[in-house]
Amino acid sequence: MGSALIQPQVGLFFWSAVIFLVFFFILRRFAWKPILNAISAREAQIEESLQKAEQARKEMADLQSSNEALLREARAERDEIIRQANDMKDKIVKDARDEAANAAALERQKAMQQIEAEKRAAIDEIKNTASALAVDVAEKVLRKEFESKSTQEEFAKKVIADLGQN
């Protein structure tokens, strides 16, 4: 009976081949084809997605570097603007100071002039007053001095003498 184990049987061989082939053709058409296609389609999709991700990453990096450049530029511009503003401020302050100084100087000058004029007027007045006083005094002195005839004559003589000397 043991030898039956290794004796191929034509009928079983026939059915084995037929059944295997039938299932092979059905499986090829309805199972392997859709499964293999789906797997390779998904693999292609994954590949594509990875490439896209890589591309996106690169784009991101590019964007970042351009952002940085933009930022740098903006920063430089900001610095420039601040510098210009500082300059302008300095100038405005300086101008204002100058103007104030000028105005002050002018004002002082005017005041000086006024003071001078007042002073002169005051001096003139003093002079006038003084001269009037002097004249008054002199008149009074002279009146007193020249009360006597003799004194008048003596003085006249002396003046005349002075005149002659010149």
Partner 1 sequence: MSLKNFLILGILSLALSLGYSQDHHDQETHQNDDKHKVEETQDGGHEEAKKDESKDSDEHEGSHEGDALEHGHKEDPSEVIIHHILDNHNWHITDLPGGQSIGIEFPWMVYTSKTGFVYASDSEELIEKGIIPVHEKPYVLKEGVEKHFHVNHHGMVHLEEGEMEKYIDEEAFVIDFSITKTVSQMILVGLILLLVMISVANAYKKREGQAPKGLQSFIEPVVIFVRDEVAKPYLGENTSKFLPYLLTLFFFIWFANLFGLMPFNSNIAGNISFTAALAILTFIITQVNASKDHWVHVFNTPGVPWWLKFGIPLMPLVEFIGLFTKPFALAVRLFANITAGHFMVLGLISLIFILGNGGESAGAAFGIAPLSFLFTVIIFMLEMIVAVIQPFIFTLLTAVFVGMAMESHDDHH
Q: Residues interacting with partner 1, by CB under 8 A?
A: 1-2, 4-17, 19-24, 26-28, 30-36, 38-39, 41-42, 45
Least distance (Å) between residue 23 CB and partner 1: 4
Least distance (Å) between residue 52 CB and partner 1: 14
Least distance (Å) between residue 44 CB and partner 1: 11
User: d(Cα 141, Cα 18) in Å, to the nearest integer?
Assistant: 175
Least distance (Å) between residue 2 CB and partner 1: 6
Residue (39 or 63) nearer to partner 1, CB: 39
Residue (8 or 164) nearer to partner 1, CB: 8
Q: What is the DSSP letter of 146?
A: T
Residue matched to tokens 């082939």: 21
User: d(Cα 105, Cα 113) in Å, to the nearest integer?
Assistant: 12
Residue (17 or 135) nearer to partner 1, CB: 17
C-alpha 101: how far from its chain's center?
27
Least distance (Å) between residue 50 CB and partner 1: 15
Residue (51 or 102) nearer to partner 1, CB: 51
Six token digits for residue 64: 């970042």
Q: Are 134 and 125 in contact (CB under 8 A)?
A: no
**What is the CB neighbour count within 10 angstroms for residue 117?**
10
Residue (21 or 141) nearer to partner 1, CB: 21
Amino acid at 164: G
Six token digits for residue 21: 């082939």
